[in-house]
A = this chain, B = another copy of it.
Amino acid sequence: MDEKQTEISTLGEFGLIDHLTKDIKLVNTSSLKGVGDDCAVMEYKDTEVLVSTDMLVEGIHFDLTYVPLKHLGYKAAVVNFSDIYAMNGHPRQITVSLAISKRFTLEHIEQLYSGIRLACEIYGVDLVGGDTTSSRAGLVISITCIGDAPKDRIVYRSGAKDTDLICVSGDLGASYMGLQLLEREKVASAGQKDFVPQFQGKEYLIERQLKPEARRDIIEELEKAGIKPTSMMDISDGLSSELRHICSASNVGCRIYEDRIPIDYQTALMAEELNMNLVTAAMNGGEDYELLFTIPLHMHEEIKKLPGIKVIGHITKPELGCAMITRDGNEMEIRAQGWNPLAATKEETPQ
């Protein structure tokens, strides 16, 4: 942050947009026209169009004390791709709207954009438009992602059926533990000039929090294996919350097993170190960006062959409700205790 710093106002809105987007190449055949007109233009002849949108607000969703701008850009893009994969589709285009306060320079915004563009490159997505304006305080990032899927491949939340198996990709709770760790080191660093944060042996937690990936690989694996989930969503607010969404949209109940919830050993160690409940972190931590999906019972053998996917339970009739079977054999109701961005509101300035 002590490199050359250019005030954004010296470029103006169009100068800034030109600068940030001048060498963008479009890679998807559906992207006909990108940045530079009133609208982006796309062509989707034989597929359905999917649209998802997410807004990230400084001080609510991220803290620039410990989140590098490049990582933030990468994550902001990837969480939108994740929503498209969660419908069994493929992300194709994004638009990026930014509100920037005066403390951000051109170089800061370049870092943010470099993260967004890296994510686009890796996932094969075109940046086709956006809006750049100022804010009175802090940074706001709003990204809309457009994707596609053949009509018969789209998976909604509402298709889960009694006896379906409930599956989860990857592992849960690591991102939340990464956040706890970053917060702890932030507090420890307060007022110290040459503070070195203690992340050894916990790199996975930090990476899951700062640079999550969307599970394109799982979508591709499932397709190759000829498995179409009956319902699916990505885990952004926490497994509990997402399970309840699927059960409510599908009008079913569920049973999952505590000892089947996939947890990385770094997550477990960190929970112990912080004296936190591990299962609570895995169930309610959120920001995992793993896929939660259901498949018909008879596909049990096929799904077992796929690495990185775990069957954690099954769908039931609606009257049985949503519950977890604990290690000691008790049933515990699953309640949506996912992160609520609206309860997290803190007003900083008197209005």
Show the binding face of A for B, using Cβ within 8 Å.
8-9, 11-14, 16, 32-33, 36-45, 48-55, 57-61, 83-84, 86-87, 89, 93, 95, 97-103, 128-138, 140, 142, 144, 146-147, 151, 154, 156-158, 233-234, 249, 336, 340-349, 351
- Can you list 14 contacts pairing A with B, beta carbon distance less than 8 Å? A37-B87, A37-B233, A39-B52, A39-B147, A42-B48, A51-B93, A51-B95, A57-B140, A101-B345, A102-B347, A134-B342, A136-B346, A137-B351, A348-B349
A87 and B41 in contact (CB under 8 A), knowing A340-B12, A347-B101?
A: yes
Cα separation A335 to B341 with both chains bound (whole Å):
44
Would A39 and B51 count as touching, CB distance under 8 A?
A: yes
Would A39 and B133 count as touching, CB distance under 8 A?
A: no
Cα separation A42 to B102 with both chains bound (whole Å):
38
Per a CB cutoff under 8 Å, which of B36, B57, B99 touches A136? B57
In the complex, chain B residues whose CB is within 8 Å of the CB of A32: 48
- Across the interface, name the chain B residue whose C-beta is closest to A97: B55
Cα separation A345 to B139 with both chains bound (whole Å):
12
8 new A-B contacts at CB < 8 Å, known A37-B233, A42-B51, A53-B95: A13-B340, A37-B157, A41-B87, A57-B99, A58-B136, A103-B347, A134-B344, A138-B351
Cα separation A95 to B13 with both chains bound (whole Å):
24
Would B341 and A128 count as touching, CB distance under 8 A?
A: no
Would B39 and A134 count as touching, CB distance under 8 A?
A: no
Cα separation A8 to B343 with both chains bound (whole Å):
8
In the complex, chain B residues whose CB is within 8 Å of the CB of A130: 53
In the complex, chain B residues whose CB is within 8 Å of the CB of A342: 8-9, 11-13, 16, 100, 132-134
In the complex, chain B residues whose CB is within 8 Å of the CB of A58: 136
CB distance from A345 to the nearest CB of B (A): 4
In the complex, chain B residues whose CB is within 8 Å of the CB of A135: 57, 60, 140, 345
In the complex, chain B residues whose CB is within 8 Å of the CB of A52: 38-40, 129
In the complex, chain B residues whose CB is within 8 Å of the CB of A347: 101-103, 136-137
Per a CB cutoff under 8 Å, which of B138, B144, B233 touches A144? B144
Would A343 and B12 count as touching, CB distance under 8 A?
A: yes
In the complex, chain B residues whose CB is within 8 Å of the CB of A351: 101, 103, 137-138
A59, A83, A131, most chain B CB atoms within 10 A: A131
